[in-house]
Amino acid sequence: MKKRNIFISAVLSITLVAGFAGCASKNNQLNNESTQTAINLLETIKSQGKILIGTEGTYAPFTFHDNDGKLTGFDVEIAEEVAKRLGVKAEFVETKWDGMFAGLDAKRFDMIVNQVGIRPDRQEKYDFSNPYITSRAVLVVAKDNIDITKFEDLKGKKAAQSLTSNYADIAKENGAEIVAAEGFNQAIDLLLAGRADATINDSLSYYDLLKQKPDVGVKIAAERSDASSSGIMFRKGNKELVDAVNKALDDMKADGTYEIISKKWFGVDVSK
């Protein structure tokens, strides 16, 4: 009986060892496959001759449609130049802001170029390029509004914002009730229609609005002193693609291409 128990124990030990070895082998295989997938994304993009780029198409002057219906804007031109330097064609996938991150997760596109603010919470899940634009948040109200002169005055007021944007967070922090808007233009429309008391957005968007519509009935009530930076956003684990995009951005700044694009849309270098 004792010998039989010893034999059974030995068989069990061998089975457990084999099981652990099998699990380790399977984990190594999964890790290798994951690494291979990450390495291959840039190669896949190059082999296909195109890179899929998520963008709104409704956020002037960054990504919008001109009078002829052509997708254009600062972000669009930056993305096209990056793609050119990668040796591929830029193919844009227009997506509403509130569904854009999910679209990246679902691999509907390879990266997002749409003024995505670089924030710690986003960096936990996604990778970013080096910052390619710097901006400040401004509080915009109707010209005849004398009740809102600072961000703290938003308490109990309605702010028209894209629901998941940095600017919506600022509005919430100051006690505002959020009115959903699909971009800056719609936020301004809601403001002018009296359906919102204010909107927080990018200073560059505001100045572009004034350039397009000098008589628009809005004004800046307050401006944040802290600058925020935006970057091109990627799924985690694609270091080769991120590095290639960073090199393209660095080269654009070094040879003056970035400054040309920047001054075309804003009249100044917006990388600082």
Same domain, 152 and 224: yes
Return the DSSP state at 149.
Answer: -
Please count the other Cβ atoms lying within 10 Å of the Cβ belonging to residue 145. Answer: 18
Domain assignment of residue 272, yes or no: no
Same domain, 59 and 104: yes
Please count the other Cβ atoms lying within 10 Å of the Cβ belonging to residue 209. Answer: 19
Q: What is the pLDDT of residues 101-152, one digit of tens each?
A: 999 999 999 999 999 999 999 999 999 999 999 888 999 999 999 999 999 9
Query: What is the Cα–Cα distance from 251 to 169, expressed in whole angstroms?
Result: 34
Same domain, 240 and 221: no
| Domains in the chain, number | 3
Backbone region of residue 210 per phi and psi (left: phi > 0; alpha: psi in -120 to 50; beta: other values): alpha
Within 8 A by CB and 6+ apart from 54, the residues are 92, 93, 95, 100, 103, 104, 108, 109, 111, 112, 113, 114
Are 166 and 136 spatial neighbours (Cβ–Cβ below 8 Å)?
Answer: no
What is the extent of the structural domain holding 20?
1-47
Query: What is the Cα–Cα distance from 194 to 198, expressed in whole angstroms?
Result: 9
What does the pLDDT read at residue 203?
Answer: 84
Counting as low any pLDDT under 50, the low residues of the chain are 1-18, 20-26, 29-38
Same domain, 37 and 97: no
Same domain, 211 and 233: no
Return the DSSP state at 95.
Answer: -
Domain assignment of residue 242, yes or no: yes
Q: Kindly report the CATH number assigned to the domain that includes residue 244.
A: 3.40.190.10
Are 128 and 218 spatial neighbours (Cβ–Cβ below 8 Å)?
Answer: no
Same domain, 150 and 220: yes
Please count the other Cβ atoms lying within 10 Å of the Cβ belonging to residue 239. Answer: 14
Same domain, 118 and 64: yes
To the question of pTM greater than 0.85 for the whole model, the response is no
What does the pLDDT read at residue 4?
Answer: 47
Same domain, 196 and 156: yes
Q: Using CA of residue 94, residue 126, residue 204, residue 196, what is the dihedral sign?
A: positive
Please count the other Cβ atoms lying within 10 Å of the Cβ belonging to residue 51. Answer: 25
Are 74 and 61 spatial neighbours (Cβ–Cβ below 8 Å)?
Answer: yes
What does the pLDDT read at residue 149?
Answer: 97
User: Using N-to-C axis directions, what is the helix angle for 184-192 and 203-212, rounded to 10°?
Assistant: 70
- CA dihedral of 81, 85, 86, 89, whole degrees rounded to 10: 50
Query: What is the Cα–Cα distance from 5 to 12, expressed in whole angstroms?
Result: 11
What does the pLDDT read at residue 88?
Answer: 98
Query: What is the Cα–Cα distance from 62 to 76, expressed in whole angstroms?
Result: 7
Are 44 and 107 spatial neighbours (Cβ–Cβ below 8 Å)?
Answer: no
